[in-house]
Amino acid sequence: MDGIIQIGTGYTLRTRVPIVTYEDMTVQQTKVFPYRGWDLLSERAYRSRVRRQHAVYEQAVACCLTSQWAARSVIDDYGVPASKVHAVGVGCNHRAPESNEGKLQRDWSAPRFLFVGIDWERKNGAGVLEAFRSVKKVAPSATLDVVGRHPPLHEAGVTPHGVLRLDDPVEIERLSRLFSEATCFVMPSYTEAFGIAYVEAAAAGIPSIGTVSGGSEFLIGDGGLVIDPYDFQALVSAMLRLCDPRTAARMGAAAKERSAMFTWPAVAERLLRALDGEPADQPSAIPGDTRFAAKTSH
C-alpha cells in the first residue's frame, strides 16, 4: 500500500503508511457555523474532538479540504503549515445530459429559478420563496422550481417537486430536465460547508446564487453570486440581476467552464499529488484561484 486517503478526521489510524486527510470543515468551525448535532456535544467532548483532529493533521503528510474556507481554518486554528494544506474541491454527483451538439439548449429569455435542498430550513428555502415574491412583481414571467423536503407550496409561478431520488431513473430524468431548463440555481444557505449542488448547477451551465457562510464561494467563483443569507434585500437584488438574460447566460458560461475543475477524477488527481508531496502543488490546487495561495505564501 502506497498511501491512504482518510475521509474525515474523527478517528485515527495506526499505520506508517502516508496519510492524506480529506474533509469539508474543521471541528472548530462548528462553533461559528453550527451543523445539526454538533450543538449537542458537551464542552469536554468538543475539546476532545479538536485534540483528535489536531493529532490527525499532525500525522498526515497533507491535509486536503473541499474549500479555501476550510483550508484557512486548518492553518489558522490548528497551526498546520500552509505548505501542507490543500484546497482540492469536490466532484459532481449529478450531471444533466447535454444535447447532441454538446451544448445545452436553453431559453434565457424568461428567468427560471431552481432551488434544490433537502434541509428546507438550513438551505434558506423560506427566504428564497419570500425573495421570489418580490422578484415576481418586477419580472412577471419569472418562475421557481423547488426540489426537496419543502412545505406545501401554492403560489403563482412556483412549482413544487418534492424529493427527487437519485436511485430512481424517472426522478433522475425529472431533475436533469429541471437543471437543463433553469436559468439560475439559488440556494443561499444559512450554513454550507461546500455545497455539491453548486457544482452540479455549474456542470449544467447555469449560474448560482450561493452563500458567504462557508466554502461555497470557492466552488461558485465567477459562475454566479454569493450573498449574506440574512440579507433579504441582497438576495432579491441577486435574483433580479440574474433575471437579465445576458447576465445569466454569461455567468452560466463561466460556470460551465469552471465545472471542468470540479469532477471526482480531478479531485482524485489532486489528492494523489498531495500524497506524493509534489513541490509544485500549491495550497489552492484549482487553476485560476490565487486568493488562498496569496494569503498563505511566505
pLDDT at 102 over 70: no
Per-residue pLDDT tens for 87-101?
Answer: 999 998 877 665 433
Domain check: are 118 and 251 in the same one? Answer: yes
Residue 122: give its domain's CATH number.
Answer: 3.40.50.2000
What predicted TM-score, i.e. pTM, was given to this entire model?
A: 0.87
Number of domains in the chain: 2
Statement to judge: residues 147 and 161 lie in one domain: yes
Q: Are residues 136 and 211 in the same domain?
A: yes
Q: Do 122 and 85 fall within a single domain? A: no
In the prediction, which pLDDT does 97 show?
60
Section 281-295 average pLDDT: 41
Residue 129 has pLDDT above 90, yes or no: yes
Structural domain that includes position 76: 4-91+263-296
pLDDT of residue 96: 63
Mean pLDDT of 211-217: 93
Q: What is the 3-state secondary structure (H, E, C) of the chain?
A: CCCEEEECCCCCCCCCCCEEEEECCCCHHHHCCCCCCHHHCCHHHHHHHHHHHHHHHHHCCEEEECCHHHHHHHHHHHCCCHHHEEECCCCCCCCCCCCCCCCCCCCCCCCEEEEEECCCCCCCHHHHHHHHHHHHHHCCCCEEEEEECCCCCCCCCEEEEECCCCCCHHHHHHHHHHHHHCCEEECCCCCECCCHHHHHHHHHCCCEEEECCECHHHHHCCCEEEECCCCHHHHHHHHHHCCCHHHHHHHHHHHHHHHCCCCHHHHHHHHHHHHHCCCCCCCECCCCCCHHHHHHCC
Same domain for 137 and 242?
yes
Would the pLDDT of 223 be above 60? yes
In a domain, 205, yes or no: yes
> Does the pLDDT of residue 17 top 60, yes or no?
yes
